[in-house]
Amino acid sequence: MNCPHCAMTTTTKRAKKTKLGYATFFCPHCQRTFNERTGTPFNYLEFPTDIVLLAVLWRLRYKLSLRDIAEMFLARGFPFTHEAIRDWEARFAPLMADHLRARRRGQAGKSWHVDETYLKVHGKWCYLYRAIDHDGHLVDSMLSEKRNMEAAQRFFQQAVAVVGHTPESVTTDGHRSYPRAISETMGTPVQHRTNKYLNNRLEQDHRGIKQRYYPMRGFGTFEAAARFCCAFDELRNYLRSRPAMGEPISLPEQRRVFLQKLVALKALIQAAS
């Protein structure tokens, strides 16, 4: 294992392990001792990395409060508080979202469906811009305090940067900010459609964040809301078992795909850290 302090490769593994069971190493060049988590965001955590990641995954994936998750882990012998989960979410949810975004670059289709839904943040309604492609795969999402031309332009610029290409067509509602935002950020060759019935698939897709958001009774800060919504959409899209919208898939296959992706995600985050 390379030394996280001086990057030397001539390190030696020691027999002694940390309290959590992680291997320790010694670097003869800088005379420092380190373990498997040294130099990663998981360093100095009082609990194993896989437990921390699982708590963050449950927080994003399921309709559970922070206290619900803390109680579930307490029953399994891990006594941490709900505030610890809140801190882990703030630290590792953006890390997870960034890796998943980078992983799906270039995978979105050429036909986008764009719409915004409402979320309450500290007693104030905010707008969550979301876009999916024809097969239901996530293009991008962005929380905005306002619904105007500037927000629409910022969303399209961000979406193009994330997926790496412009679409051939964009379907939106009749809000007047969209035609100009599309033409100025992606050019006139992009076809813009405003038939509301063509966007039913996205209206239905909003149910994911809506169902997860209702038990939380809103967000305390805009930053926390933006962080959670981005990570939630990225994780939900990654764990999709159907390659295309409406494609039939058996329950055993859904479970196999879910477990396979969950293991791959944990390995990806730990390796990238």
With beta carbons less than 8 A apart as the criterion, state whether 133 and 117 touch: no
Residues 85, 195: one domain?
no
Predicted local confidence at residue 273, as pLDDT: 61
Residues 182, 91: one domain?
no
Predicted local confidence at residue 243, as pLDDT: 72
User: Residue 10 burial by CB count (10 A; 0-12/13-18/19+): exposed, middle or buried?
Assistant: exposed
Per-residue pLDDT tens digits for 97-109 = 999 999 989 888 9
**Lowest pLDDT segment from 25-34, 137-146, 150-159:** 25-34
Model pTM score = 0.88
Per-residue pLDDT tens digits for 193-225 = 987 788 888 889 999 998 898 888 778 899 999
Residues 196, 247: one domain?
no
Residues 57, 134: one domain?
no
Residues 255, 166: one domain?
no
Most confident segment among 90-94, 193-197, 267-271:
90-94
Could you give the count of Cα atoms lying within 13 Å of 217 in the half-sphere of its Cβ?
2
Residues 137, 201: one domain?
yes
Tally the domains of the chain: 3
Residues 96, 52: one domain?
yes
Residues 125, 226: one domain?
yes
Q: Which domain holds residue 201?
A: 111-233
- Residue 146's nearest CA partner among 177, 187, 182, 184 is 177
Predicted local confidence at residue 183, as pLDDT: 92
